[in-house]
Structure 1
Amino acid sequence: MQYGNSSNSSTPLSPETLVASSVLGLCFALGVPGNIAVLVLLSGWLKGGSFTPRLMLSLAISDLMTLLPLPLWIYALLHDWVFGLGLCKFFSYVVYWSLYSSVLCVTLLSVQRYIQVLHPQKWAKIRARGQNGLVSGIWILSGVFACYSLVQRHVKLEKDGRLYCRAHYQNNTERVATLLLETILMFVVPFPLLVYFYVRLHCSVSQSAFFNSHRMTRLVTRTVATFFFFWVSLHINNIMLIVALLLKNDHLLRFAEAGDDIAGALTFINSCVNPFIYAFSARAIRQRATGTESV
C-alpha cells in the first residue's frame, strides 16, 4: 500500500490521483463524524458488558484512527509531502496499525459470534478478564504487525522533482516479501476464517427455529461482508504487484502501480461505511449491549 504519494502542482494530475483524492475527501467528510457518533452511542450502551458491541467500539476506534490523518494524505496526493520524516513515519504507522486492528476486529467478530451463538457454554467460560485480554491483544498484535512501516517509510526527492512519503525498498525481494506479508496477514489468513465461521453459523442458524438473535447476527454479517467487498481489490492489486515483480513484467507492474492509490482509497471507504451499518442496526446493538437478547 503506497499511501502518501504526491504530485507537483505544475504537473497535470493523473485521473487515478484525482479519483483517489476525491474518494479520500468524501471518506473524511462522512466517516469522521459518523465514527465519533458511533463511539458516543456505543460508549453509552456498554454498561451491560456485552462483548460484541465492545468489539464494534474497538472497530470504530480503528476506523477513526484510519480516517483522521486523511487531510495530510490528500494534500500529499495533490502536492508534495512537506510534513517531514517524523510525521511521515508516525502517520504511516498509525494507518497500518489501525488497518491491522480492523482486520483482527472483524475476524474476531466472526469467530466470537460463531462460538457465542452455537457454543454458548464455551463462550461463558471466557470471563470479563479474558474478553479484555482479547481486545487488548488485538491492539498489541496489530501494533507489532505494523512496525515494519516505521523502518520502510522515508521521504524521498525523486527524479521527477517531487517529495514522496512512501515505502522505500532496498530491492525487489524486500518489496515482494512485504507484499506477501500484507497479503497473508490481511487476506490469506483472516478471510478463509471469516468464510468458514459464517458458513457454519448460517447453516446452523437456518436450521434452528428457536434462534432469537437474528438482528445482531445480520449486523455482524453486514459488517464482515462490507469489509470483504472494500478490501478485496487491494489484495488483488497486491497479488498483481507480486506477480509482476517475480516475472519482471514492466507492463503489469505499471498497471498495478497505477491502481494502487485507488485500491488503497477503497479501504478507507470501509471505515466510513461502518457507522451507517450500525445506524441501521441501532436497535440490535442496544439490545445486545443491555443484555435483552440472550445470544
Structure 2
Amino acid sequence: MQQVNCSISSQLTDAFPVCIASSAVMGLSFVLGVPGNLSVLRTLVQRLKENNFTIRLMLSLAISDLLNLLPLPMWIWALLHDWIFGSVSCKIISYIEYWCVYCSALCVTLMSVQRYMQVLHPQKWAKLGTRGENGLLCGIWILSGVLASYAPVQRDVGCDQYGFQYCYQHFKNKTEQVATLAFEVLLFVATFFLLVLFYFSLYKGVNESPFFSSNRTTKLVTRIVVAFLTFFILIPIANVLFIIAVLLNNQHMSKTADLSGVMARALAFLNSCVNPFLYTFSLRGQQRSNPVMESS
C-alpha cells in the first residue's frame, strides 16, 4: 500500500466544514440509496419477462446508480481522515465512479429519446426490435467505459492542498487540466441539451395530439429536468470556476472551486438515490393513465 507523508495545512479550518457537510450528504445517499436501489432492482428483475425496453433501461440505470453508491463509505472516510486504501483502489474506484455517472447520464438521455420515439414515431422505433434495443443498452455501457477511461490515468493518491492524503486528479500541466474540465462541462451541456430537447418535443407532440393527455407528461418532464439540473449543475459550475482560476492563476478562486467541487460531487450522489424511484414510479403512473403510451 502506498504511503504518502502529508502535513495538515493551516487552511484546514476553511475546508473542514465542507468535508463534514459532504460526508453527511454522502452518508445519507448511502443509507437511502443502496437499499432503495436494491429494492427497485428486485422489482425490475421480476418484470424482465415482460420484454419491455423501458424496464431494461431502468434496470441498467439502477445498476449504475447502485455501483456508484457502494464505495461511498471509503470516500467518507477519506474526507474525514486520509485515503488509506492504496493507489490501485483509488484508480479502480474512480474509474467505476466515472463509468457509472456517465452510464447514468446516458441512460437518462436514451430514456428521453425512447419515450419521444415510441410515443410520436412508434413504427420507426419498432424497427429496432429486441436485438437493436439490447445493442443500445450495451452501447451505453461501452461508451460510458470509454468516456471514463481518463479517470484511472489521472487519479492517484497524493497530498492535497490541505495536507490530507487523498485520491484526487493529478494533472501534468495546465493544458491537461483545462482540457479535462472543459470535456466534462461539454458532456454535461450536451446531455442536458438532449434531455430537454427530446422531452420538450415529446410534450409538444403529445399536447398537440387529441389522443394523449399532457398532464402526466408535463409532470414527468418537470421532475426529470429539475432533478438532473439540481443534482448536477454545481459540477460544471465548479469546473468552469476551475478553468478560469487556472487560466488566471488565481489561487483563491482555485480554492473556492475546489471546495465547491467537493460539495457538488457529494450532491450528485443524491441523484443516484432518486433516479430509480423517479423514473419507475413516474412511468408506471404514466402507463396507468395512458395505456396507449406503454412501452413495447
Q: Do the structures match in fold with TM over 0.5?
A: yes
Q: 1:166 aligns with which of 162, 168, 171?
A: 168
1:222 CA displacement: 2.5
The amino acid that maps onto 1:256 is A
SS at 2:140's partner residue? helix
The amino acid that maps onto 1:69 is P
CA separation in 2, counterparts of 1:90 and 1:283?
Answer: 36
Give 1:230's aligned residue. Answer: 231
Give 1:211's aligned residue. Answer: 212
SS at 1:267's partner residue? helix
Give 1:77's aligned residue. Answer: 79
Aligned pairs, number: 287
Give 1:193's aligned residue. Answer: 194
1:117 CA displacement: 0.8
Give 1:55's aligned residue. Answer: 57
CA separation in 2, counterparts of 1:158 and 1:190?
Answer: 31
Change (3 A) 1:225 1:162: closer
Conserved? CA contact 2:106–2:140, under 8 Å: yes
Higher relative contact order (CA 8 A, sep 6+): 1
1:225 CA displacement: 3.3
The amino acid that maps onto 1:265 is A
Tell me the alpha carbon deviations over residues 33-55 of structure 1, each in whole angstroms, 9 at most, x when there is no partner.
Answer: 00001100111122221212211
Give 1:273's aligned residue. Answer: 274
Conserved? CA contact 1:81–1:155, under 8 Å: yes
Instruction: Give aligned-pair identity as a percent.
Output: 54
Change (3 A) 1:173 1:45: same
Conserved? CA contact 1:7–1:77, under 8 Å: no
SS at 1:155's partner residue? strand
Conserved? CA contact 2:54–2:295, under 8 Å: no
CA separation in 2, counterparts of 1:198 and 1:230?
Answer: 19
Counterparts of 1:118-197 in structure 2 under 5 Å? 118-157=120-159, 161-185=163-187, 187-197=188-198
Conserved? CA contact 1:7–1:79, under 8 Å: no
Counterparts of 1:239-254 in structure 2 under 5 Å? 239-254=240-255
CA separation in 1, counterparts of 2:215 and 2:51?
Answer: 20
Q: Which moved more, 1:213-222 or 1:32-41?
A: 213-222
Q: Which moved more, 1:276-285 or 1:80-89?
A: 276-285
Change (3 A) 1:271 1:157: same
Change (3 A) 1:220 1:131: farther
The amino acid that maps onto 2:242 is L
Give 1:3's aligned residue. Answer: none
CA separation in 2, counterparts of 1:171 and 1:73?
Answer: 26
Tell me the alpha carbon deviations over residues 86-114 of structure 1, each in whole angstroms, 9 at most, x when there is no partner.
Answer: 11111011100000101111111111111
CA separation in 2, counterparts of 1:286 and 1:131?
Answer: 20
Structure 2 unaligned spans of 5+: 1-5
Change (3 A) 1:129 1:162: same
Query: So what's the TM-score if we normalise by structure 1?
Result: 0.88
Query: So what's the TM-score if we normalise by structure 2?
Result: 0.88
RMSD: 2.7
Give 1:36's aligned residue. Answer: 38
Give 1:202's aligned residue. Answer: 203
Change (3 A) 1:16 1:127: same
1:158 CA displacement: 5.4
Q: Which moved more, 1:66-75 or 1:237-246?
A: 237-246
